[in-house]
Amino acid sequence: MEGKNSLASKIDRFQVSIPHAQSDEVKKSLRYSILDGSANAASQGLTQDYITPFALALKATTTQIGLLSSAPSLATALSQLAAPQLSERAGSRKGFILRAVFIQALLWAPILLIPYLFPEQKVWWLIAFFTLSTAVGAMTSPAWGSLMADLVPAEMRGRYFGLRGRICGFVALALFFIGGLILHFSAADIFLGFSIIFGAALLFRLVSWYFLSRMYEPPLLMGWWDRYSLPDLVNSLTSSNLGRFIAYSSLMSFATYLASPFFAVYMLRDLRFSYLTYAGITAAASLASLVFLTFWGRRADRLGNVKVVSAASILIPLVPLLWLVSHRLYYLIPVQILSGFAWSGFSLASANFVYDASAPENRTRYIALFNATNGGGMCLGALLGGYLASHLPPVLGYPLLTLFLVSGLLRALVAVALRHHFSEVRPGARD
């Protein structure tokens, strides 16, 4: 009861600049958003880091693992381009989100049944269904971001999203560990274990859908920008501060996804870690991200998002490079903590920067462009990484370590070359 009251009091602090007539609806919606996010986080905790192990259990090759990351990223990028128009045709951001979330939840049913329904080409069916599920879910992001940006005052977004992210992250982490235990105890029939965790993910996403349906949708401001097409906005971004930031973030995504899909392959296939060891190493980054979300959120509100992005960008290139030093568990855990610390700040401040730098009446389109370009960078990075993983000479006996080296150096190049090409837009941020 104490935790609930404490959470309620924290959320109430975000209401000071909201009109009184809307305050009750907004307060309830911010609580429902945390409940929605927690249920969705439970779903992601059971799926996000277990898709690659599932593919490996289905005997996926390194190239197929690359496609399992690149195809959803490409589909995400393309879906973002269509999302604003589809959202407008739906007549309601909330209505559009609810339809897409419901479909995404149901798409986990064929995924969990792949080992039983498809005697051949199982990995290709997994790539197809997972790509479709990811694309449908990703289409909600611009509309959801626009909705939440209208609900949360600009000067408090760092704290609110930091609080929400921390709560959701702990839920995801708890369910991630539960998923690892389920797989550990179902080793004799590993596909039954995967079916259980993916089935639970489906149910949690439906719970998320329910809480989303209870949220209030503020009226969407319409302006002359809404008569412009997405290509017109792309042209307007090429010389803008927001455009330069989007380019920076997309290139960092490309450099990151050269290696990101293959850490699980390295641990499970090359190092032959157990599912529990894999879960422990992966969870270290997630736990660190949760612990430091509010740390970054407070600094983003006080100092501005660009300073947080800059600080995180110094650390992000170090992560894949440090994997070359040792594969001992006691060493990799601190490396993963560093990763979670850096990426929690980068991700939180990047999203808030886009919210701040885009006009409210056209925020849905800007978020779509941001997601689309980042998805494109992830897709190209994963595709190139999947190719290079089979063609690079080994470092310390493993070709994937060479890929980690290339990724780290490229991340550093992006950070050094492009970081100073965009600037803070939030009024009142301290230098």
Question: For domain 20-215+229-421, which CATH number applies: 3.30.300.30, 1.20.1250.20, 2.40.128.630, 3.40.50.1820?
Answer: 1.20.1250.20
The predicted model scores a pTM of 0.70
What is residue 278's predicted lDDT score, i.e. its pLDDT?
Answer: 87
Select, from the ranges 24-28, 128-132, 363-367, the one with the highest average predicted confidence (pLDDT): 128-132
What is residue 373's predicted lDDT score, i.e. its pLDDT?
Answer: 86
SS (H, E, C) the chain: CHHHHHHHHHHHHHHCCCCHHHHHHHHHHHHHHHHHHHHHHHHHHCCCCCHHHHHHHCCCCHHHHHHHHHHHHHHHHHHHHHHHHHHHHHCCHHHHHHHHHHHHHHCHHHHHCHHHHCCCCHHHHHHHHHHHHHHHHHCHHHHHHHHHHHHCCHHHHHHHHHHHHHHHHHHHHHHHHHHHHHHHHCHHHHHHHHHHHHHHHHHHHHHHHHHHHCCCCCCCCCCHHHHCCHHHHHHHHCCCHHHHHHHHHHHHHHHHHCCHHHHHHHHHHHCCCCHHHHHHHHHHHHHHHHHHHHHHHHHHHHHCHHHHHHHHHHHCCHHHHHCCCCCCHHHHHHHHHHHHHHHHHHHHHHHHHHHHHCCHHHHHHHHHHHHHHHHHHHHHHHHHHHHHCCCCCCECCEHHHHHHHHHHHHHHHHHHHHHHHCCCCCCCCCC
| In the predicted structure, residue 2 carries a pLDDT above the cut 60 | no
What is residue 209's predicted lDDT score, i.e. its pLDDT?
Answer: 95
Q: What is the pLDDT of residues 109-123, one digit of tens each?
A: 999 999 998 878 899
Q: What is the pLDDT of residues 283-297, one digit of tens each?
A: 899 888 888 877 888
